[in-house]
Amino acid sequence: MAGSRSDAPVVIAVAITGSVPRKADNPAVPVTVAEQIESTHRAFEAGATLCHIHVRNDDETPSSDPDRFAAVQEGLRRHCPGMIVQFSTGGRGRDPASRGLSLQHRPDMASLSTGSVNFPTIVYENSASLVSDLAGQMKQHGVRPEIEIFDLSHLHGAKRLVDAGLIDARPHVQFVMGVQNAMPAEEHLLDILLAETKRILPDATWTAAGIGRYQAVVMDWALTRGADAVRTGLEDNIRVTKDRLAASNAELVGLAAEAVSRHGRRVATPAEARAALGLA
Ligand code: MG
């Protein structure tokens, strides 16, 4: 896999805003379009080259409004030159039929979950037909997917999309570990996932996301194994330590950049990030 070149520069992905309501304990999560652009700009200056985006309605619930996605994208293209824009097509709080609406705005990438899984309080439902439909829309609009792997079977879901010609044979995959009721954050599970990826998707690029208190440790495991990218941001984790909240997405990106250096690698530029993930 591409990640076995362990001297390659590392893409830092920042997931700026998730689906969890902003409460008193996570005031740094950007919610309005203006806050999202400002927060991403600071994260970009700290070394992030890929921005994973969820948008919110005025009442801060998750939104599928394509205009909001477009507004964030426009701000990022203006203020963060070259940064990879990735829209979420994820499901929390969103109607399945609306999850692909933002793809018409042709972001560089979009997340694509290739199977269903239990989340803390809901079933994250991704039927085979919805997955194929979203992959088809991404292909139609020239949007590169990031395959979200919440379970081993999701790798095989990605392979089925390759075999069906809906995605190319060099997908970018992200292993998500530490979501309550889904895949635990266990180092040996990452090895199992990587071994299976190498077997069925040998040209894939990859990254891993640790949720909550697992963010830093999963990043270390990924860097140890030559990951092409690391993922951070307030969507996944709001704390620097058990006792201290992160002040911003930029602070978390700074910690990721330090981790990259500790592993003897360097942070990718936007052009390097695009080349690494197969984007123009
Ligand atoms: Mg997300």
Residue 25 has pLDDT above 90, yes or no: no
Cα of 236 from ligand 1 centre, angstroms: 8
The predicted structure's pLDDT at residue 4: 54
CA distance 233 to 209: 10
Q: Is the pTM of this model over 0.95?
A: yes
CA distance 197 to 228: 14
Cα of 90 from ligand 1 centre, angstroms: 6
Query: Who's near 70: CB < 8 A, 6+ residues apart?
Result: 102, 105
Cα of 207 from ligand 1 centre, angstroms: 14
User: Shortest CA distance to 40 belongs to which of 229, 250, 236, 258?
Assistant: 250
Question: In the structure, what pLDDT confidence band is assigned to residue 161 with cuts at 50, 70 and 90?
Answer: very high
CA distance 13 to 46: 11
Cα of 94 from ligand 1 centre, angstroms: 12
Least confident segment among 36-40, 88-92, 204-208, 270-274: 88-92
The predicted structure's pLDDT at residue 97: 85
Rounded to the nearest 5°, which phi and psi values hold at 50? Answer: -140, 130
Question: In the structure, what pLDDT confidence band is assigned to residue 2 with cuts at 50, 70 and 90?
Answer: low
Percent of the chain with pLDDT over 70: 96
CA distance 232 to 115: 23
User: Shortest CA distance to 176 belongs to which of 149, 215, 139?
Assistant: 149
Cα of 257 from ligand 1 centre, angstroms: 21
Cα of 1 from ligand 1 centre, angstroms: 24
Average pLDDT (128-132) is 96
Instruction: Report, in angstroms and rounded to the nearest whole number, the Rg of the chain calculated over CA atoms.
Output: 17
Q: Give me 255's structure tokens.
A: 């910690």
Q: Considering the domain 11-276 in this protein, what is its CATH number? A: 3.20.20.70
Cα of 109 from ligand 1 centre, angstroms: 13
Cα of 138 from ligand 1 centre, angstroms: 17
The predicted structure's pLDDT at residue 27: 82
Cα of 66 from ligand 1 centre, angstroms: 16
Whole-number average pLDDT of the chain: 94
Instruction: Measure CA of the first residue to CA of the last residue in the chain; give whole Å.
Output: 20
The predicted structure's pLDDT at residue 24: 59
Cα of 54 from ligand 1 centre, angstroms: 6
**Can you give the residue ranges of every domain in the chain?**
11-276
Average pLDDT (67-93) is 94
Average pLDDT (219-225) is 98
Cα of 9 from ligand 1 centre, angstroms: 24
Cα of 2 from ligand 1 centre, angstroms: 24
Cα of 260 from ligand 1 centre, angstroms: 22
Cα of 244 from ligand 1 centre, angstroms: 23
Cα of 211 from ligand 1 centre, angstroms: 11
Residue 66 has pLDDT above 80, yes or no: yes
Average pLDDT (20-40) is 86
Cα of 149 from ligand 1 centre, angstroms: 12
Cα of 33 from ligand 1 centre, angstroms: 16
Residue 83 has pLDDT above 80, yes or no: yes
